[in-house]
Amino acid sequence: MNNLLEKNFKRHINLNDKEFNIILNSIKWKVVDRKEFLIQSGDVAKNTYFVNKGLLRLYQVQENGVEKTALFAKEEWWVSDLYSFFSQKPAANFLQAIELSEVYVLSKYKLEELFLQIPKLERFFRIIQQNAFIAQNERIMDMLTKSAEQRYLNFIDKFPKAELIISQKQIASYLGITPEFLSKMKKEINS
Amino acid sequence: MNNLLEKNFKRHINLNDKEFNIILNSIKWKVVDRKEFLIQSGDVAKNTYFVNKGLLRLYQVQENGVEKTALFAKEEWWVSDLYSFFSQKPAANFLQAIELSEVYVLSKYKLEELFLQIPKLERFFRIIQQNAFIAQNERIMDMLTKSAEQRYLNFIDKFPKAELIISQKQIASYLGITPEFLSKMKKEINS
């Protein structure tokens, strides 16, 4: 059951069996029910999560009750409310499972311990963080330069099963459009 | 002249004089004229830059000639076209000085050497990258949840001298609105 996690680490750094076992002993395994919360807005994010199976959604709820999706995290992604996780201040986001999921759970405390025990993990998370930054930047440029229709098509391309398991409301909240506009747009695309 | 750079490193990691000197010997100092390019779209970004003084702008030019600003980098910021820098593939962005600036120049080659010589630099850049990711995510959430007026006021708050040295066209290209709309909005704010 550790295959995906091991592959993920070894994509960026060399780890021997002893080192990988230290990591495994610091990490918990958790099955997350559909709609279960891993982080609640207002609480401190104690953990970061590696998605082994399933799909998670990180989102905020505005004062008017409207949800805005920061990101969807699919298999092989690390996800948390990073501001809260690293500052240990209250989270602005909710992290919730969209479908029945399996995650590895790594606490802030254990991660700091691991950085001391296996310093090359700094390299690993530096590269993970760097790739996440590049992806975020691409999203910003897409928001500035691409039409909602183009962004929707890119999204479906990146998350092929999106239409099956993510609600239209949630997809719209990621694209920054209303569900009504998304519905109208899809009709035009399919016509 | 190394005060700001030294402070920047020591904010996140401990460095002794010998280590800091190794870094200094790997880094070049460059004065950048107003409007001078550090990265050109289509070229490979060979370097990452630390802004010691001044202000840089990272932006793309769309097919229709319209510019879209990915970010403004002020003093104490590290900036490059990170995708290009780490992959050594052609850059999508231009990096240009908005005003007369001073930067430290660190090449990909030297950085990889430094990671081997001073492994705790992985920690430094992991933290820098993490903070940049958090800031980017905040910008995405602002784009999804805040009005153009609120985003403009936040921007001015973050870059107090923006109005003095950044053109209206460039500010609009960062906010994702037209210069005409920015001008109209400012009149309303000031009325």
pLDDT digits (tens, 9 = 90+) for B4-15: 999 999 999 999
Q: What are phi and psi of A71, to 5 degrees?
A: -165, 160
> Distance of alpha carbon A173 from its chain centroid, rounded?
15
Which residue from A70, A86, A120 is facing B130, i.e. has the nearest CB?
A86
pLDDT of amino acid A163: 83
What residues of chain A lie within 8 A of the CB of B141, using their CB? 60, 68, 70, 92
Give residues with Cβ within 8 angstroms of A13, minimum separation 6: A120, A121, A123, A124
Alpha-carbon distance B135 to B74, whole Å? Answer: 14
Residue B1 pLDDT > 60, yes or no? no
Q: Are B168 and A168 in contact (CB under 8 A)?
A: no
Residue B31 pLDDT > 50, yes or no? yes
Give the length of chain B.
191
* Pairing, β A94-97 against β A37-39: antiparallel
DSSP-derived letter for residue A28 is E
What residues of chain B lie within 8 A of the CB of A62, using their CB? 145
Which tens digits make up the pLDDT trace of A140-164? Answer: 999 988 999 999 999 999 888 888 8
pLDDT of amino acid A189: 86
Q: What is the mean pLDDT of chain B?
A: 93
Work out the average pLDDT over B32-58: 97
What do you get for the CA distance between the two ends of chain A, in Å?
44
Alpha-carbon distance A35 to A166, whole Å? Answer: 12
Which tens digits make up the pLDDT trace of B128-185? Answer: 999 999 999 999 999 988 999 999 999 999 888 888 899 999 999 999 899 999 999 9
Portion of chain A with pLDDT greater than 90, in percent? 82
Enter the CATH code of domain A3-117: 2.60.120.10
A170 CA: distance to closest CA in chain B (Å) = 13
Work out the average pLDDT over B43-52: 97
Record the tokens describing residue A46, joined without a space: 């104690």
pLDDT of amino acid B2: 60
Contact A141/B68, CB-based, under 8 Å?
Answer: yes
Q: Are B6 and B20 in contact (CB under 8 A)?
A: yes
DSSP A97-163: ESSSEEEEEEEHHHHHHHHHH-THHHHHHHHHHHHHHHHHHHHHHHHHHS-HHHHHHHHHHHSTTHH
Candidate from A21-35, A89-103, B172-186 with smallest mean pLDDT: B172-186
For B134, counting Cβ atoms within 10 Å of its Cβ (0-12 exposed, 13-18 middle, 19+ buried), the class is: buried
Contact A129/B129, CB-based, under 8 Å?
Answer: yes
pLDDT of amino acid B189: 86
Residue B70 CB coordination number (10 Å): 24
Which tens digits make up the pLDDT trace of B82-113? Answer: 999 999 999 999 999 999 999 999 999 999 99
The H or E element containing residue A15 is none
Residue A2 pLDDT > 80, yes or no? no
Q: What are phi and psi of B91, to 5 degrees?
A: -80, 145
How many CA atoms within 13 Å lie on the side-chain side of A150? Answer: 8
A6 CA: distance to closest CA in chain B (Å) = 20
B154 CA: distance to closest CA in chain A (Å) = 17
Is residue B191 very low, low, confident or very high in pLDDT (cuts 50, 70, 90)?
Answer: confident
Contact A119/B115, CB-based, under 8 Å?
Answer: no
Residue A1 pLDDT > 70, yes or no? no
Which residue from A115, A133, A141 is facing B132, i.e. has the nearest CB?
A133
> Which superfamily does B3-118 belong to?
Jelly Rolls (2.60.120.10)
Look at phi and psi of residue B88 and say left if phi exceeds 0, alpha if psi is from -120 to 50, else beta: left
- Its sign, for the CA torsion B145, A87, A138, B76, is positive
